[in-house]
Structure 1
Amino acid sequence: MSTTCRLSARWKERRSPLPAAVRRWLGLDAIARSRLVQGSAQHDGERFRNVAPAPAEGLGKMLRIAWNMLLHKPKDTVPAGAIPVDALTAGDLAAAPDRSLYRLGHSTLLFKLHGQLWLTDPVFGERASPFASMGPRRFHAPPIALDDLPALRAVILSHDHYDHLDRDTVVALAAKTGVFLTTLGVGDRLIEWGVPAHQVRQFDWWGGITLDGVTFTATPAQHFSGRGLLDRNRTLWSSWVIDDGEVRVFFSGDSGYFGGFREIGDKLGPFDVTFVETGAYDKQWPYVHMQPEETVQAHIDLRGRCLVPIHNGTFDLAMHRWQDPFERVTTIARPRGVVLSTPRMGERLDLAAPQAGTPWWRDVS
């Protein structure tokens, strides 16, 4: 990322008497106030909400989770060896056929559709954290450097958590991205960060847009939002449906298991490929992330043909072993007749005819 982009992104922060990192931790980075937000059926006048009310969780539970995450994490939540990554160049992307897909890490997916590039939840930073030297550190470098990415037709954002929305990445991408497609309120954040307003489109659930023959629809999810202590659920979260006219895919963002998957499948399915979160799960937070069994059921509800498990392999965000999401979803999918694909980071996936991939995680010592 260029020095100019970083300085531009941080200039506004430094006008405040509070240090930038403290502002981010408190959730003062941006508070959405657009009219679109106030008019949403998902908004109660103060904050966004899920269809099913969240279970009450007291301060005691939150402190226990934080205590366990800090002091009782098993050692193998981080790989001991190097994650295999297939390096990519701009030339590779230019030569790739249409309907190519590349996992760049976690939930960052690069699509080539109708001759153009489309990127989901871009996180190229070293950490998924408000702090430069603290918080979950990535296991591997992105398959292509941020500065080497060619022009993007659009960036698609599911919500504003740090492992899905990286400020420095977004600011750097603004100069090479045609439009940012976001959920309500997330677009306000981008504009406050310096992304020109004319490049931002914000959507409520079931809203969408068609760009150059590719249709994007923001669809429901069961999750939450916020980047600090004081801004929980000030912005909306979603999944996304991407349809190029011949291939239809589902991108889950983050979600607990809920009846919305079946509704999305009935309204907009079936799907050639579903990219569904399988990672950062725990019995302590079942409402906002799915266990692998639920990931497979969500894929079935969506009427998907091939399941690609995402939200794994890049950051240490839970108590499970880093390879458990792959192992568990593979074990569960097979007897249920679910077709699974597990491409390496940077490996090309043909959306029209997805290959199975290999159990690459077993070779990481």
Structure 2
Amino acid sequence: MSSTMLSCSNTETQETRYPDKFVNSDPGFKQQGNLFEIIKAYIKVERKNPTPTFDLPVHTITAEQLIEEREDVMYRLGHSSVLMKLDGSLMMADPVFSDRASPVQFMGPKRFHPAPISIEDLPEIDVIVISHDHYDHLDKASVKKLTDKTGLFLVPLKVGQTLREWGVPEEKVVELNWWESKVVNGIDFTLTPTQHFSGRSLTDGNSTLWGSWVIRSREKNVYFSGDSGYFDGFKEIGEKFGPFDLTMIETGAYNTLWSNIHMFPEQSVQAHIDLQGKVMLPIHNSTFDLAMHDWQEPMAKALEISSERGVTMVSPEIGQRLAIGDTLPVVEWWNQK
């Protein structure tokens, strides 16, 4: 495996690499989401189960368990946060440990369940990858606590500036453009396109890049979607890097008002097929209330549609160990009979 050069090429200037605003690959893309329409819809919507009415099953993870692990495994920490061990290296994607996915901790979407391990109990982390800068994916409090025990942060272009402002040392931050790679401990991390947007305030929209991650170790090939609407890029990624032993695909927080930046479950299943995935794990659900559907709907619909389409889906409980490439019997933990 080789790493793409990270310096500007002869045809790429600082201005083209670090524009004031980033754009999606589809030249006809128009961002949806009229704020007035969204607020009106939230006021009018009636939901039976916006949040769980029972304690979700959570498996406690220990540092000893992670240190002693010899297989290639992953653990779902909640929402889109995942922990993986590949070739003996420990890595995380979009770690969010705060109680709320919000700029403040006294209001905003609150967790349905505790994290299966605390930051304090985590052993040393080799690599953390970030998909984009939204609050439910890039959590300031978590990053600040993880800095001293993390070897390297791999992030999309200009997200590194945010991390450096939070105190992450320059030498621990690597920024990548779409299709660029970085090899760490023999594992190839490639940032690949998604159809989404970025911003942490009303004034910084699309000032940083967004993306998904292809992670290739000696024996395993996994895909982490970050956030995305359905687009042709999934087929291109599948053709370039597939097949994947495991795809972790955004399946949640969808609505017709913003359907081009988040996928409905049927689109998530199709994205997995486009990517040439072998096993699909729906993520971006079951931790925060970020849309107008019932909290359990994404997992239930993903299971129904994947079964209809012959797709192998896994649904590990929060903190449950999953050997990458294995298929766990599907347990509908989101349903309490």
For the aligned pair, the TM-score class normalised by the smaller chain equals: over 0.9
Secondary structure (helix, strand or coil) at the match of 2:256 reads coil
Matching of residues 169-318 of structure 1 within 5 Å:
169-318=142-291
Q: Which residue of 1 aligns with 2:63?
A: 90
Do residues 334 (structure 1) and 311 (structure 2) align?
no
CA distance in 1, matches of 2:109, 2:115: 15
TM-score (norm 1): 0.86
Classify 1:136/1:352 alpha carbon distance in 2 versus 1 (closer, same or farther; 3 Å): same
Decide which structure has greater helix share.
1
CA distance in 2, matches of 1:318, 1:324: 11
CA distance in 2, matches of 1:292, 1:57: 19
Classify 1:57/1:250 alpha carbon distance in 2 versus 1 (closer, same or farther; 3 Å): closer
Q: 2:95 aligns with which of 109, 122, 138?
A: 122
User: Cα deviations across residues 152-200 of structure 1 (Å, max 9, x unaligned)?
Assistant: 0011000000000100100110000000000001111000111101100
CA distance in 1, matches of 2:81, 2:62: 16
Kept in 1, the 8 Å contact 2:279–2:325? The answer is no
Q: 1:50 aligns with which of 21, 24, 31?
A: 24
User: Cα deviations across residues 63-98 of structure 1 (Å, max 9, x unaligned)?
Assistant: 120233356352511111111100111112122232
The worse-fitting range, judged by mean Cα deviation, of 138-147 and 86-95 is 86-95
User: Cα deviations across residues 229-258 of structure 1 (Å, max 9, x unaligned)?
Assistant: 000000000000001021100000000000
CA distance in 2, matches of 1:36, 1:147: 41
Do residues 39 (structure 1) and 16 (structure 2) align?
yes
CA distance in 2, matches of 1:164, 1:135: 14
CA distance in 1, matches of 2:13, 2:305: 41
User: Cα deviations across residues 10-29 of structure 1 (Å, max 9, x unaligned)?
Assistant: xxxxxxxxxxxxxxxxxxxx
Kept in 2, the 8 Å contact 1:37–1:185? The answer is no
Aligned length: 325
Classify 1:251/1:268 alpha carbon distance in 2 versus 1 (closer, same or farther; 3 Å): same
Secondary structure (helix, strand or coil) at the match of 1:198 reads helix
Q: Which residue of 2 aligns with 1:140?
A: 113
Structure 2: state its 5+ residue gaps. Answer: 1-11
1:137 to partner: Cα distance? 0.3
Classify 1:57/1:193 alpha carbon distance in 2 versus 1 (closer, same or farther; 3 Å): same
Q: 2:49 aligns with which of 72, 76, 87?
A: 76
Secondary structure (helix, strand or coil) at the match of 1:266 reads helix
Kept in 1, the 8 Å contact 2:265–2:302? The answer is yes
CA distance in 2, matches of 1:303, 1:138: 32
1:352 to partner: Cα distance? 3.3
Classify 1:208/1:73 alpha carbon distance in 2 versus 1 (closer, same or farther; 3 Å): farther
1:55 to partner: Cα distance? 2.2
The worse-fitting range, judged by mean Cα deviation, of 110-119 and 221-230 is 110-119
1:120 to partner: Cα distance? 0.3
Q: Which residue of 2 aligns with 1:10?
A: none
Matching of residues 345-356 of structure 1 within 5 Å:
345-356=318-329
Sequence identity percentage: 47
Classify 1:37/1:225 alpha carbon distance in 2 versus 1 (closer, same or farther; 3 Å): farther
TM-score (norm 2): 0.93
CA distance in 2, matches of 1:57, 1:357: 35
CA distance in 1, matches of 2:208, 2:76: 26
CA distance in 2, matches of 1:195, 1:233: 22
Kept in 1, the 8 Å contact 2:31–2:260? The answer is no
4+ aligned runs moved over 4 Å, structure 1: none
Kept in 1, the 8 Å contact 2:228–2:262? The answer is yes
Secondary structure (helix, strand or coil) at the match of 1:362 reads coil
CA distance in 2, matches of 1:149, 1:123: 14
CA distance in 1, matches of 2:229, 2:294: 20
Classify 1:222/1:182 alpha carbon distance in 2 versus 1 (closer, same or farther; 3 Å): same
CA distance in 2, matches of 1:166, 1:37: 28
**Amino acid in the other structure paired with 2:141:** D
**Amino acid in the other structure paired with 1:335:** E
Structure 1: state its 5+ residue gaps. Answer: 1-34
CA distance in 1, matches of 2:176, 2:290: 28
Classify 1:70/1:176 alpha carbon distance in 2 versus 1 (closer, same or farther; 3 Å): farther
User: Cα deviations across residues 255-308 of structure 1 (Å, max 9, x unaligned)?
Assistant: 000000000000011101100000001111111000000000000000000000
Secondary structure (helix, strand or coil) at the match of 1:76 reads coil
Kept in 2, the 8 Å contact 1:340–1:356? The answer is no
